[in-house]
Amino acid sequence: MTYEEYEQKCEEIRERNEDYLEEFWEDLVSAGLKEKTIKRHYQNVDFYINTYLLREEPLEMTHGTNPFYIGDFLGYFFIRKCMWSTPSTVKSTAASIKKFYKSMVQRGYIDESDYRYLVETIREDIDQWMDDCEAYNDPYAPNPFAFF
């Protein structure tokens, strides 16, 4: 795939993602959440599906439920590449992603089994991700990502 083809594919995916995000926004409004909370969920999900999932290859929103991608994002990429990462933001970003994909299930864009797998992955690994984030942000703690 050439760079131009990659960029074209990413733009097509971003356009579809915008529709998903608009529907997600509507679902959050319908749930009675405050605008500040809705914005936070929206921004967290937007970053995941429009930055992380497109960074190396153009991946559709549906790939975001894959345990590899959610684990790499919350357990590595987000901690190391996002200056605002804290154990609290890891947890709130995970919550946003779960809300988003629940909305996508309800709207028929992804299978219920994929959603359950995503939730199970987050449930099993969130404590480790938060611990790794805390250690990574502590200049006196060993770097959890330094393997040598």
117-135 per-position pLDDT tens digit: 999 999 999 999 999 999 9
Total domains in the chain come to 1
Give me the pLDDT at residue 147, please. 75
The answer to the question of residue 101 being in a domain is yes
Answer yes or no: is 38 within a domain.
yes
Cα–Cα dist 31/34, whole Å: 9
- Contact (CB, 8 A) for 135 and 142: yes
Confidence of residue 148 (pLDDT cuts 50, 70, 90): low
pTM, whole model, 2 decimals?
Answer: 0.93
In a domain, 40, yes or no: yes
What is d(CA 15, CA 132) in angstroms, rounded to the nearest whole number? Answer: 34
Given a cut of 80, whether residue 107 has pLDDT beyond it is: yes
User: Is residue 43 one of the residues assigned to a domain?
Assistant: yes
User: Could you tell me if residue 33 is inside a domain?
Assistant: yes
Above 80 in pLDDT, residue 115?
yes
- Domain housing 106: 3-137
- 146, part of any domain: no
Residue 76 is predicted with a pLDDT of 96
Is residue 147 assigned to a domain? no
Task: Report if residue 143 sits inside a domain.
Answer: no
